[in-house]
Amino acid sequence: MNTYMHNLKDTIQQLAKAQHEQIIAIRRHIHAHPELSFQEHKTAQFIATTLQEHGLAAQTGITDTGLVLHIAGQNPTKRVIALRADMDALPIQETNKVPYKSTVNGVMHACGHDAHTASLIGTAIILDKIKDAFEGTIKLIFQPAEEKSPGGAIGMIQAGVLKNPAPAAILAQHVSGDIPAGKLGFVKGPVMANTNELSITVHGKAGHAACPHMAVDPILIAAHIIVALQQVVSRHIDPITPCVLSICKIDAGTATNIIPEVVHLVGSVRTSNEALRDKVKEKITTIATGIAASMGGSCEVKLLEGYPATYNDPALTERTIQAAEEYMGKDQIQPVDLCMAGEDFAYFAQAIPGCFYFLGVQNKSMGIDSWVHTPTFNIDEKVLAFAPGLMAWLAIQELQHGGGGS
């Protein structure tokens, strides 16, 4: 790293530390006022107003609640890099006892999107202060509805968020309750799984519970199907290939003495690639329909395809790791495994080279060690002292790269 870049890194780090308390306050405001997917109207207004207070004008109303902000440096058309944060919450009742606890009954920022948004606001403030120190343009995307399929990424792409100007690459961070606060996790290639909603409807013949021989019991059929489906992962998929199949809901029956006619099973299927998704669907259908027929019933299998697998461009990710090591130190960077959760950042990464990395927020000594999507999820806010500056640094470093992805 030359002296100029070293000095620029120091400047970014100082700016990030100086605004730490402000970014915490922003995060806490968003956390206390969560909004569900495609309902982020007050959140979007808060983001726009906060940026305006720093002299920054974002384009609003993209797919209703999305925002985009451009920070143009010297020679703004030379190269464009995009940064993305999501901003929706989840239908979860928060149980944390914190001053900034959700004020909305049954809604909570249990996936860290409040931190993602606050961090990207901080990144925007930093970049605006140093825009004379870099060449190119950095596009900041505040995306709605990551938690709902189809989410906000598709709509923003269709609205032209990756055009005028067109970014050469896109970066995003996601908090992780598994990684200690202050550390970052990276993986090259598939980083998040594709998501699929599984629905199985089992048909039998209704009857009296005292006369099961005169009925076809769909609950018994469903029970056999549930157990048998576990062999899809354990016996039909290569054991070193990540795959998850979970039946999460059973809906059947109306009384203790009635054998019902229909049972509904719903669940989730996660795989690391599209070909494996197709194979799993085929095996599920074969097993479920075969069992149902052999027991005198029938069934219908539906697999609703959700987000595709999120793929980290290897070359872009390697450059991002190197830049992160320069900013954080090599000992703060660690490899991580493919996560079987889903992410609609996948659509951005399909359109242009992308890198999706993990920001550790765990602090066991403070009791902050819950996984995302739980009512006790929280973050160690000390990460907000460096995360905004880190994204600014990563974007500036990528602006200097002349090529595309791998």
- Are 73 and 132 within 8 A, CB to CB? yes
Give the Å distances, CA to CA, from 216 to 205, 223, 245, 249.
5, 13, 27, 21
Instruction: Give 240's pLDDT tier (boundaries 50, 70, 90).
Output: confident
- Token pair listed for 325: 């090591």
Q: What percentage of the chain has pLDDT greater than the value 70?
A: 99
pLDDT category of residue 404 using cuts at 50, 70 and 90:
very low
pLDDT of residue 369: 95
Q: Which residues are identified as catalytic? A: 307, 381
Cβ contact 37:109 at 8 Å: no
CB 296 within 8 A of CB 216: yes
Q: What DSSP designation does 161 have?
A: T
Report the CATH fold assignment for 194-305: Alpha-Beta Plaits (3.30.70)
Cis before 34 (ω within 30): no
| pLDDT tens figures, 124-133 | 999 999 999 9
The string of DSSP codes covering 27-90 is HHHHHHS---TT--HHHHHHHHHHHHHTT---EEEETTTEEEEEEE-BSTTS-EEEEEEE---B
Using one digit for the tens of pLDDT, what is the confidence trace for 334-379?
999 999 999 999 999 999 999 999 999 999 999 999 999 999 999 9
Q: Please write the tens of the pLDDT for every residue from 106-119.
A: 999 999 999 999 99
| pLDDT surpasses 60 at 262 | yes
Give me the chain's average pLDDT, please: 96
Distance of CA 171 to the CA centre of its chain: 13
C-beta atoms surrounding 375 within 10 Å: 14
**CB of 274 within 8 A of CB of 261?**
no
pLDDT tens profile 79-101: 999 999 999 999 999 999 999 99
Per-residue pLDDT of 206-228, as tens digits, reads: 999 999 999 999 999 999 999 99
- Per DSSP bridges, beta strands 184-186 and 333-335 are parallel
CB 47 within 8 A of CB 142: yes
312 pLDDT higher than 60: yes
Q: Where in the sequence of the chain do the CATH 3.30.70.360 domains occur? A: 194-305
pTM for the model: 0.92
Inform me whether the pLDDT recorded for 405 exceeds 50: no
Looking at residue 284, its pLDDT comes to 97
pLDDT tops 90 at residue 272:
no
| pLDDT confidence band for 406 (50 / 70 / 90) | very low
Measured between alpha carbons, how far is 251 from 269 in angstroms, rounded to an integer? 19
- What pLDDT, on the 0 to 100 scale, is given for residue 102? 98
User: Which residues does 22 contact at the CB level (< 8 Å), separation at least 6?
Assistant: 122
Average pLDDT in the 284-311 region? Answer: 96
Q: What is the pLDDT of residue 339?
A: 93
In the chain, CATH 3.40.630.10 covers 3-190+309-399
In 10 A of CB 128, how many CB atoms? 18
Residues 389 and 328: beta-carbon distance below 8 Å: no
Q: Angle 113-129/41-53 helices, nearest 10 degrees? A: 20
CA dihedral 406, 84, 356, 358 (to 10 degrees): 150
Distance CA 381, CA 366 (A): 11
The helix/strand/coil state of 79 is coil
Surface-to-core class of residue 164, CB atoms within 10 Å of its CB (0-12 exposed, 13-18 middle, 19+ buried):
exposed
Please tell me the predicted confidence (pLDDT) of residue 333. Answer: 97
Model confidence at 274, pLDDT cuts 50, 70, 90, reads confident
Angle, vertex CA 138, rays to CA 136 and CA 142, nearest 5: 165
The tens digit of pLDDT for each residue in 4-60 reads 888 999 999 999 999 999 999 999 999 999 999 999 999 999 999 999 999 999 999
Query: Can you name the residues that pair with 263 across neighbouring β-strands?
Result: 202, 252
Class of domain 3-190+309-399: alpha beta
